[in-house]
């Protein structure tokens, strides 16, 4: 097996070099260092050294399948057992053979694991969600809860607890696993670390990301299908889960995935760096197609097909130095949305088709100093955005210092009251160069002149 980190770095370097994003990114010499470090020409496996591991010709592969596999089974438990075995032996591939696998909890990935399916023949299916309330108070230091109605809940289930915070008025959301039971009392895998009091109407729901990881690095998910069973599952905020959801991770490769009908985000990663999402098909997921979450640096989102979600690609807070290239985004309410401190991203050569609201949306955020800047939106094709008074590209708030270069913005349904590019009344300087804008009642509506 080729290490996922080697694939990720090679792909990223190639794309960033082509886009001119590598300028200034080379590592600087350490303080007091007169010359660059010598190149490692003959890497060896050395205890504690993860930087120059040899690229071994063969690594461990464990198969999982309904039968005739190293680990036989068609549930998350079988796949998790294979992941844990591979991790114990230093990493390798978990090969998910053709079949349908019903999940009652997430598959938790770890460093050095490659989860490899057989395309759409390997289908992960999320069971229907159950919901109940708490029958007794649990304090922040407790590691158990009491369910008002335990029907449908089992040991091993992934759950989400939600409650109104009695002090702040906000909502506390926790992901946990049920690990022991006596009647309607369940022990959790981790303490609550928040108060769940019946007076605040807490809920417990069998919801979870289908594939997840936290504080891990160098892993991959390839050529596998996920069905979120959207009609039979409650919605979940993409900051806490998604069909694939990662937190505080780095060097992730997600390629050849088919993700459909998840009642939330298809792919969400929060404070994750050097994530590659490539050649994926994301269809009919309720919220965001690809959600590079807060603080994520250098995401690469390329050659994906994203359709029928609220947002196609949503740059969250502080996403920087990312690349979104050659994606086809169809019938998402917003094709691409970018905002809070999202800086120096390149969005190039994408097709954004039939967005019910905007093809490209620059969010207003909190005003001066918070909006996106230094982003290049280049050589994209935006077709048929919004209703009769729709706006293809909407620049909101005080957004400034971004570039729209050589894009084709087209309306084929008739001009009506449609607008190609709208510059909001408070927006600043925006570089508009050689864009082709056709079929609109107003090609550019510059409200700054009003």
The alpha carbon torsion through 377, 383, 388, 390 (nearest 10 deg) reads -10
> What is the Cα–Cα distance from 132 to 199, expressed in whole angstroms?
15
pLDDT of residue 33: 57
**Residue among 291, 402, 411 at smallest CA distance from 353:** 411
Q: What is the pLDDT of residue 200?
A: 93
Is a pLDDT exceeding 90 seen at residue 289?
yes
Decide: 276 and 253 in contact? Cβ < 8 Å: yes
Q: Averaged over 287-295, what is the pLDDT?
A: 97
- The whole-model pTM stands at 0.91
Q: Are strands 185-188 and 171-182 parallel, antiparallel or unpaired?
A: antiparallel
Check: CB of residue 377 under 8 Å from CB of residue 404. Answer: yes
DSSP 8-state secondary structure symbol assigned to residue 402: -
Q: Which of 435, 429, 409 is nearest to 335 (CA)?
A: 409
Does 16 have pLDDT greater than 60?
no
Closest CA to 336 of 309, 299, 318: 309
- For residue 4, is pLDDT > 80? no
For residue 342, name the pLDDT band (cuts at 50, 70, 90).
very high
The confidence score (pLDDT) of residue 56 equals: 84
Residue 1, pLDDT score: 37
What is the C-alpha to C-alpha distance for residues 338 and 315, in angstroms, rounded to an integer? 5
Alpha helices by DSSP H, 51-137: 76-88
Q: In this predicted structure, what is the pLDDT of residue 6?
A: 36
pLDDT of residue 9: 40
Residue with the larger pLDDT of the pair 59 and 343? 343
Q: Which residues of 202-223 are buried (b: 16+ CB within 10 A; e: fewer)?
A: bbbbbbbbbbbbeebbbbbbbb
Q: What is the pLDDT of residues 22-70, one digit of tens each?
A: 344 344 444 455 688 899 999 999 988 877 888 888 889 999 999 999 9
* β-bridge pairing 185-188 and 144-146: antiparallel
Convert the pLDDT of each residue in 124-182 to its tens digit: 999 999 999 999 999 999 999 999 999 999 999 999 999 999 888 889 999 999 999 99
- Mean confidence (pLDDT) of the chain: 92
% pLDDT > 90, the chain: 86
Which of 180, 186, 157, 181 shows the shortest CA–CA distance to 77?
157
Would you state the pLDDT for residue 19?
A: 44
- The answer to whether residues 416 and 386 touch, using CB atoms and an 8 Å cutoff, is no
Domains of the chain as residue ranges with CATH: 60-126+208-449 (2.160.20.10), 131-205 (2.40.30)
Q: What percent of the chain has pLDDT over 70?
A: 92
Q: Which two tokens stand for residue 17?
A: 């070099």
Question: For 190-225, how does the pLDDT look when each residue is reduced to its tens digit (9 = 90+)?
Answer: 999 999 999 999 999 999 999 999 999 999 999 999
Q: Rounding to the nearest 10 degrees, give the CA dihedral for residues 226, 227, 230, 231.
A: -170
Residue 2: pLDDT band with limits 50, 70, 90: very low
Answer yes or no: is pLDDT of 104 > 60.
Answer: yes
Q: What is the pLDDT of residue 166?
A: 84
With 80 as the cut, is the pLDDT of residue 439 above it?
A: yes
pLDDT digits (tens, 9 = 90+) for 249-277: 999 999 999 999 999 999 999 999 999 99
């Amino acid at each position: 097996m080729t290490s996922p980190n080697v694939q990720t770095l090679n792909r990223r370097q190639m794309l960033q070099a082509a886009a001119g994003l590598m300028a200034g990114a080379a590592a600087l010499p350490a303080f007091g260092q007169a010359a660059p470090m010598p190149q490692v020409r003959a890497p060896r496996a050395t205890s504690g050294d993860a930087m120059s591991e040899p690229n071994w010709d063969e690594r461990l592969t464990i198969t999982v399948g309904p039968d005739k596999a190293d680990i036989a089974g068609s549930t998350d438990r079988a796949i998790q057992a294979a992941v844990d075995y591979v991790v114990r032996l230093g990493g390798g591939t978990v090969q998910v053979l053709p079949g349908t696998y019903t999940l009652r909890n997430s598959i938790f990935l770890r460093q050095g694991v490659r989860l490899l399916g057989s395309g759409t023949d390997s289908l992960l299916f999320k069971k229907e969600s159950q919901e109940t309330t708490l029958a007794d108070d649990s304090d922040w230091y407790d590691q158990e809860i009491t369910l008002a109605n335990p029907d449908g809940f089992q040991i091993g289930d992934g759950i989400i607890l939600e409650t109104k915070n009695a002090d702040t008025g906000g909502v506390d959301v926790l992901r946990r696993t049920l690990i022991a039971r006596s009647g309607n009392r369940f022990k959790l895998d981790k303490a609550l670390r928040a108060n769940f009091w019946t007076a605040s109407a807490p809920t417990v729901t069998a919801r979870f990301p289908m594939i997840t990881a936290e504080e891990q690095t160098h892993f991959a998910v390839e050529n596998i299908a996920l069905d979120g069973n959207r009609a039979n599952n409650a919605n979940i905020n993409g900051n806490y889960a998604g069909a694939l959801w990662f937190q505080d991770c780095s060097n992730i490769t997600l390629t050849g995935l088919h993700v459909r009908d998840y009642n939330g985000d298809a792919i969400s990663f929060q404070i994750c760096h050097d994530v590659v999402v490539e050649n994926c098909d994301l269809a009919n997921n309720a919220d965001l197609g690809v959600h590079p979450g807060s603080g994520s640096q250098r995401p690469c989102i390329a050659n994906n097909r994203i359709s029928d979600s609220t947002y196609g690609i949503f740059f969250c807070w502080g996403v920087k130095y990312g690349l979104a290239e050659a994606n086809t985004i169809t019938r998402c309410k917003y094709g691409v949305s970018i905002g809070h401190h999202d800086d120096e991203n390149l969005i190039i050569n994408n097709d954004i088709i039939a967005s019910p609201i905007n093809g490209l949306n620059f969010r207003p955020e909190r005003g001066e100093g918070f909006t996106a800047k230094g982003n290049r939106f280049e050589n994209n094709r935006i077709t048929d955005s919004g209703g009769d008074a729709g706006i293809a590209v909407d620049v909101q708030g005080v957004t400034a210092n971004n570039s729209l270069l050589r894009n084709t913005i087209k309306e084929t349904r008739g001009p009506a009251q449609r607008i190609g590019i709208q510059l909001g009344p408070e927006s600043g300087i925006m570089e508009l160069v050689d864009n082709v804008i056709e079929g609109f009642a107003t090609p550019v509506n510059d409200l700054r002149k009003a």
